[in-house]
Amino acid sequence: MVEDAKSKYQGEGDYIVMGDLNADCSYFKENSQSPLRSSDYYWIINNSVDTTTKSTDCTYDRIIIATSARDDFTGDAGVFRFDSAYNLNYNSTIAVSDHYPVWASFWNNRDID
């Protein structure tokens, strides 16, 4: 998918892959080989973060950027725990979603490519 974007937008070097990638637990072996595991990419949401609202401890949701985009990344990222922010009980939380949203901040005035 990134290679397709690179072929279409040849002047761009900064790419972000994000969302529910099922990239943990029984769906994905964290230490397995993957093109996104190369030195060309930086995993902002790493293996230690639980992005699920249920009793599992899995990092399904990820933000992965091209290494060239690291200069634009502020270093701020995380998981928005909406249950804590809005004081929701478990049943209300899972009624909203079985995943917490992930986020990252980027500089918008320093991009040189």
Q: Is residue 44 part of a domain?
A: yes
Q: For 11-30, how does the pLDDT look when each residue is reduced to its tens digit (9 = 90+)?
A: 888 889 898 877 666 666 66
| Residue 100: predicted pLDDT | 94
Rg (CA), the chain: 16
Whether 103 maps to a domain, the answer reads no
In a domain, 109, yes or no: no
Q: Which domain holds residue 11?
A: 2-98
**Assigned domain for 106 exists:** no
Pair 105, 78: CB distance under 8 Å: no
Checking if the pLDDT of 9 tops 80, the result is yes
Flag whether 111 is in a domain.
no
Q: Please count the structural domains in the chain.
A: 1
With residues binned 3-state (H G I as helix, E B as strand, rest as coil), the percentages for the chain, rounded to 5, are 25, 25, 50
Q: Is residue 42 part of a domain?
A: yes
Please report whether residue 105 resides in a domain.
no
Q: Residue 90: enclosing H or E segment and its boundaries?
A: helix 90-96
Domain annotation covers residue 21? yes
- The confidence score (pLDDT) of residue 57 equals 84
Assign residue 53 the CATH number of its domain. 3.60.10.10
For residue range 42-88, list pLDDT tens digits in order. 989 988 888 999 888 878 888 999 988 898 999 999 999 999 999 99
Q: What global pTM score does this model have?
A: 0.82
| pLDDT > 90? residue 37 | no
